[in-house]
Structure 1
Amino acid sequence: MTDQAWHPAEANAIDAASDAKNHAGTDANRAWRRGLHRFDRALVGLVEWGAAALLAVEIVVLLAGVISRYVFHAPLVWSDELTGILFMWLAMLGAVLALRRGEHMRMTAVVGRLAPRARAFVDTFAIGVSIALLALLLQPAYEFAAGEIPIQTPALEISNAWHAMALPVGAALMLIVGVIRLAQVGRPRDVLALLALAAVIGCMAVYAAPWLQTLGKLNLVIFFVGGVALGIFAGVPIGFSFALATFGYLSLTTFTPMEVMVGRMDEGMSHLVLLAVPLFVFLGLLIEMTGMARAMIGFLASLVGHLHGGLSYVLIGAMYLVSGISGSKVADMAAIAPVLFPEMKQRGANEGDLVALLATTGAQSETIPPSIVLITIGSVTGLSISALFTAGMLPGALLALILCVVVWWRYRNEDLSGAQRYKRREIARMALIAAPALALPFVIRAAVVEGVATATEVSTIGIAYTMVVGLLVYRRFDWRRLGRMLVDAATLSGAILFIIGCATAMAWALTQSGFSQDLAQWMGAVPGGSYGFLAISIVVFTLLGSVLEGIPAIVLFGPLLFPIARMAGVNEIHYAIVVILSMGLGLFSPPFGVGYYSACAISKVNPDAGIRPIVGYMSALFVGLVLIAAIPWISTGFL
């Protein structure tokens, strides 16, 4: 073998060829990314247009239904069916937009403390888990929709597949958006590592299935405690964590067809009362755009702005007043937060404290009529709904007072040197300006009480009222912002409704496991008489509320536990109030409470920010709950 000479000319030629190859590769990579970006923009633009149009049609149809029924005494019998079908599509398209924008609620307290390289991998892992769930759900969702084809809706007489197809189409769109996002933000080595990890976990799951089926109810701990906690603390969106744990439990430990799980998700997202969520979110944006929010805040600030924590008192009182109007606690928060939060932040309030207080007031006002949870508990247990309505007022007022004490303590050292104290004449002038805006909650509540509109329809009356007041009274109405506001409302609602749908599926899986019957039997054997039973009920329903929400938990456990409460000597009305407040405590408490993440989504605040401040508020609420449980007169004194 002979050595070859290395000439500079040859070296330059090789370098030039290498540079040309690298340049060509770079150009190809850039062209691919530009093409991906254009496709992404076109797809998202189409979804945004569809979501905005659906929400606008929902508003028009519901308002037309109110006018037709109340004014012309000719109800539109098809309106509920049409809005139900459109609502499912709106929820799924909103969930697609939420995934594209990264607005699905997730816990990043642990992920945020990792080193940059480790955090990048965990973020890639979170996107990958979401993609994996969507890929697993795609076929069952299609089969579920195909099974609905022969079923016809009674009023419109069309196939129910028009409703059910929203699930596979929405899942497919989310899958595409998730893959695009992974391609845009994931590093190649992280993606390869994720694919290898997915293959290993998939093989382990398949081989472990026979063994898991022998573990019985221990699987509930593995999937619904360990699996959900792992997903949440790894930064996987909350809804996806719930759904993946449910899918894993049902597919590996039972013989349940996965179309059943999709059906439970559909059921959770299809409650027509939840349509109030996007409508109230849009109403909140409309109130801000028309200047009504500024007028209201200005007047309320003139009354209590010079007090320590003044606007926090307004938030507590506002949630007490509007609670129950829509039948959805999420919708109640959506009606309040967009109005108050911008001004409170401008005045220096900490956003973590704001979202913590909002979530706590959601739990505090669970028993304020006409609460849908009160109606549900009355219907499944046979209790008087009017008695429940009467019993719920004073406990809610007591908890509001306790929260006001906490607010005073937290803000007692607040610097008020710049706070302005208004004269009576100025307050009166601001009250006159704010009167049309302040009348809105009373208009909404009167429409429900007088039977003008249902809890779902009433938000459209608020929207119509706000548009008229904005155009004729405040004369501030930017038509160009309506499209973006409709898209924002649909996106936020999609993130919230997807969590609710996944939580409903998880609740159903827990029920099918026999967990509810075992729990009722165990609680009935607790010593200590009525107080022992109340104490264990508070603990159990707080835990249940964090994963099941109020209505599913009531439907599952109400018929089982209320007879036991009666035998233990507990007044059933009193027990109902204690149970509802306990579930509210769990529902709005992190890290598992769905209501807490809904409050964060509505407030557009990172969930991590509210973790520390909510401890004090929830502790105070727990003290109030113990007082209500220990003193039955607070619930039954006015019956």
Structure 2
Amino acid sequence: MSAGALGLLVGLLLLGLPIAFSIILACGLAVAERGLPAMLIAQRLFTGLDSFPIMAVPLFILAGELMNESGITRRIIDLADAFVGHLRTGLCQVGILSSVIFAGISGSAVADASALGRVFIPAMEEEGYPRAFSGALIAAASVIGPIIPPSIPMIIFALIIQESIASLFLAGVVPGLLLGLGIALTGYLRIRRLAPEPKPRRSARELLAALRQGIIPMLMPVIILATILSGVVTPTEAAAVAVLYALLIGFFVLRTLKLASLLRIFASSMLLASIILIVMASASLVNWLLTTDQVPQQFAAFVLGTVKDPVAFLLLTNVLLLVVGCFIEGLAAMIVLVPILFPVAQALHVDPVHFGTVVVLNLMIGLITPPMGLCLFVADGVAKVGLAAIVRQIWPFLLAELAVLLAVTLVPGLALGLPRLLGY
């Protein structure tokens, strides 16, 4: 892209225009400067979405919306409360464990922060926790959503580099659990003095009853992974199975879904999916222009001339992505930067699944990174204490998540152990 197109892109972003439209307008200028027909823009936007696996994205979103509408949020919370509610700072731990379970259903940090925040922030305030702390806790825990399968960012990364979606799904399990442990420990250390007295431990009968109620939402990620890993279905078909499962549960098991609500659920799901898809389409347009200018090859030659160590490359990649994630939406950053960075990773013999896990984890941490972290705004929308108050409370959680990122970067086995164990 020319300097003029890049300047236009930066200017539009600073003016607050959505990133997808900023990219399309900047690319339009780049196409005009080259004297190419404007029809190429529409063609490249269409080509960027012309892929069967991309259909998994709206289907997983729809499955999550259907399950949430069926009332499974309350069941997840009750299940988490039964197992960890008796601990010191129990309600904090319940919120984090609920996020881990909810992650296997929604695959979306924003959905996680919104659904659980509406329940936990008022409940934690009743027990004496500051609303700003509660909002920061839920925002930090929501990052687990896009890491544990089914993960929409993992699907998109797999499509970019043509890697196995199942491998990337499995690679996210251990880092996602480590995030949960890190956030739980940080929350305990931060707030233990303000926490109320622990509740009595649940009896075995109560635990069994909670497990029986919570098994319905917990089965969804099991079904998704089992069908994909068995080779019976593709990830897109597994997403369709998840939608069917959600419909059956909502209409015939829980009987909480109504036909009248389906249109609203479909509309909200497609609205969210369209936001993701238009970003993917616009970013693919940038990739086309960068590829025609041989930017990935030039960048790879430059980096390989100065960096020879794969660990050093991964650490530098982390720094770059953390800075970019402060200002640009994670999926857009991934679609634009991964085609540039991946050739270098290949040349340095970095495992593609390990690289993908590091990239996705990094960019999802950007969801709670000031000043543009989307989950910070979602949490503040529920807590209503002001964004500055949430930001002041988020730093310890952010440091804990960065520690997990560093561990996954330096110890590839944390990401690769489970896929390799299962033969991927």
TM-score surpassing 0.5? yes
- Using a 3 Å threshold, how does the CA distance of structure 1 residues 556 and 416 change in structure 2: closer, same or farther? same
Equivalent residue letter for 1:238: I
TM-score normalised to structure 1 length:
0.52
Residue 581 of structure 1 deviates from its aligned partner by 1.2
Residue 585 of structure 1 deviates from its aligned partner by 1.6
Residue 310 of structure 1 deviates from its aligned partner by 1.8
Tell me which residue corresponds to 2:155: 372
Please give the residue correspondences for 1:339-350 in structure 2 after superposition, counting only pairs within 5 Å.
Answer: 340-348=116-124
Q: Does 1:581 align with 2:364?
A: no
Q: Does 1:237 align with 2:21?
A: no
The superposition leaves residues 445-497 of structure 1 with CA deviations (integer Å, 9 ceiling, x where unpaired) of 32333344332233333333333333443333333222222222222322332
Tell me which residue corresponds to 2:301: 521
Q: Does 1:447 align with 2:227?
A: yes
- Using a 3 Å threshold, how does the CA distance of structure 1 residues 294 and 365 change in structure 2: closer, same or farther? closer
The superposition leaves residues 528-552 of structure 1 with CA deviations (integer Å, 9 ceiling, x where unpaired) of 7454434333334556775744455
Tell me which residue corresponds to 1:5: none
- Using a 3 Å threshold, how does the CA distance of structure 1 residues 271 and 394 change in structure 2: closer, same or farther? same
Equivalent residue letter for 1:347: A
- Residues 96, 138 of structure 2: 8 Å contact kept: no
Residue 222 of structure 1 deviates from its aligned partner by 2.0
TM-score normalised to structure 2 length:
0.73
- Using a 3 Å threshold, how does the CA distance of structure 1 residues 363 and 523 change in structure 2: closer, same or farther? farther
Q: Does 1:284 align with 2:64?
A: yes
- Residues 182, 401 of structure 2: 8 Å contact kept: yes
Residue 579 of structure 1 deviates from its aligned partner by 5.6
Equivalent residue letter for 1:622: L
Please give the residue correspondences for 1:152-551 in structure 2 after superposition, counting only pairs within 5 Å.
Answer: 218-219=3-4, 221-224=6-9, 226-232=10-16, 236-251=17-32, 253-307=33-87, 308=89, 309-318=92-101, 321=104, 331-333=107-109, 340-348=116-124, 352-353=135-136, 356-357=139-140, 360-362=143-145, 364-365=147-148, 371-372=154-155, 375-376=158-159, 379=162, 394-416=174-196, 422-526=202-306, 529-542=309-322, 546=328, 548-550=332-334
Q: Which whole-Å CA distance do the structure 2 matches of 1:533 and 1:389 have between them? A: 24
Q: CA RMSD in A?
A: 4.5
- Residues 589, 596 of structure 1: 8 Å contact kept: yes
- Using a 3 Å threshold, how does the CA distance of structure 1 residues 298 and 625 change in structure 2: closer, same or farther? closer
Residue 300 of structure 1 deviates from its aligned partner by 1.9
Tell me which residue corresponds to 1:196: none
SS in structure 1 of the partner of residue 144 of structure 2:
helix
SS in structure 2 of the partner of residue 361 of structure 1:
coil
Q: Which whole-Å CA distance do the structure 1 matches of 2:137 and 2:368 have between them? A: 17
The superposition leaves residues 595-623 of structure 1 with CA deviations (integer Å, 9 ceiling, x where unpaired) of 96599789987999476655544443333
- Residues 183, 400 of structure 2: 8 Å contact kept: yes
Tell me which residue corresponds to 2:409: 629
- Residues 75, 214 of structure 2: 8 Å contact kept: yes
Q: Percent identity?
A: 22
- Using a 3 Å threshold, how does the CA distance of structure 1 residues 243 and 587 change in structure 2: closer, same or farther? farther
SS in structure 2 of the partner of residue 501 of structure 1:
helix
Q: Which whole-Å CA distance do the structure 2 matches of 1:509 and 1:592 have between them? A: 29
Please give the residue correspondences for 1:545-560 in structure 2 after superposition, counting only pairs within 5 Å.
Answer: 546=328, 548-550=332-334, 553-560=337-344
Equivalent residue letter for 2:95: S
Q: Which whole-Å CA distance do the structure 2 matches of 1:601 and 1:271 have between them? A: 31
Tell me which residue corresponds to 1:162: none
Q: Which whole-Å CA distance do the structure 2 matches of 1:504 and 1:602 have between them? A: 31
Equivalent residue letter for 1:229: L
- Using a 3 Å threshold, how does the CA distance of structure 1 residues 427 and 295 change in structure 2: closer, same or farther? same
- Residues 395, 628 of structure 1: 8 Å contact kept: yes
- Using a 3 Å threshold, how does the CA distance of structure 1 residues 344 and 530 change in structure 2: closer, same or farther? same
Q: Which whole-Å CA distance do the structure 2 matches of 1:422 and 1:554 have between them? A: 47
SS in structure 1 of the partner of residue 255 of structure 2:
coil
- Using a 3 Å threshold, how does the CA distance of structure 1 residues 263 and 458 change in structure 2: closer, same or farther? same
- Residues 296, 437 of structure 1: 8 Å contact kept: yes
Residue 511 of structure 1 deviates from its aligned partner by 3.5
Q: Which whole-Å CA distance do the structure 1 matches of 2:260 and 2:150 have between them? A: 40
Please give the residue correspondences for 1:12-51 in structure 2 after superposition, counting only pairs within 5 Å.
Answer: none
Please give the residue correspondences for 1:45-64 in structure 2 after superposition, counting only pairs within 5 Å.
Answer: none
Residue 577 of structure 1 deviates from its aligned partner by 1.6
- Residues 287, 466 of structure 1: 8 Å contact kept: yes
- Residues 444, 458 of structure 1: 8 Å contact kept: yes
- Residues 550, 584 of structure 1: 8 Å contact kept: no
Larger Rg over CA atoms: 1
- Residues 277, 331 of structure 1: 8 Å contact kept: no
SS in structure 2 of the partner of residue 457 of structure 1:
helix
- Residues 117, 382 of structure 2: 8 Å contact kept: no
- Residues 2, 30 of structure 2: 8 Å contact kept: no
- Residues 541, 579 of structure 1: 8 Å contact kept: no
Q: Which whole-Å CA distance do the structure 2 matches of 1:378 and 1:541 have between them? A: 17
Residue 386 of structure 1 deviates from its aligned partner by 8.7
**Which structure 2 segments of 5+ residues have no match?**
125-130
Q: Which whole-Å CA distance do the structure 1 matches of 2:274 and 2:221 have between them? A: 25
Q: Which whole-Å CA distance do the structure 1 matches of 2:323 and 2:246 have between them? A: 40
The superposition leaves residues 398-420 of structure 1 with CA deviations (integer Å, 9 ceiling, x where unpaired) of 44433333333444345435967
The superposition leaves residues 74-94 of structure 1 with CA deviations (integer Å, 9 ceiling, x where unpaired) of xxxxxxxxxxxxxxxxxxxxx
Residue 360 of structure 1 deviates from its aligned partner by 2.8
Residue 519 of structure 1 deviates from its aligned partner by 2.0
Q: Which whole-Å CA distance do the structure 2 matches of 1:522 and 1:427 have between them? A: 58
- Residues 520, 557 of structure 1: 8 Å contact kept: yes
- Using a 3 Å threshold, how does the CA distance of structure 1 residues 275 and 528 change in structure 2: closer, same or farther? closer
SS in structure 2 of the partner of residue 589 of structure 1:
helix
Tell me which residue corresponds to 1:131: none
Tell me which residue corresponds to 1:62: none
- Using a 3 Å threshold, how does the CA distance of structure 1 residues 277 and 588 change in structure 2: closer, same or farther? farther
- Residues 293, 339 of structure 1: 8 Å contact kept: yes
Residue 396 of structure 1 deviates from its aligned partner by 4.8
Residue 305 of structure 1 deviates from its aligned partner by 3.2
Residue 368 of structure 1 deviates from its aligned partner by 8.3
- Using a 3 Å threshold, how does the CA distance of structure 1 residues 434 and 337 change in structure 2: closer, same or farther? same
How many residues are treated as equivalent by the alignment?
A: 401
Q: Which whole-Å CA distance do the structure 1 matches of 2:209 and 2:232 have between them? A: 32
Tell me which residue corresponds to 2:127: none
- Residues 524, 533 of structure 1: 8 Å contact kept: no
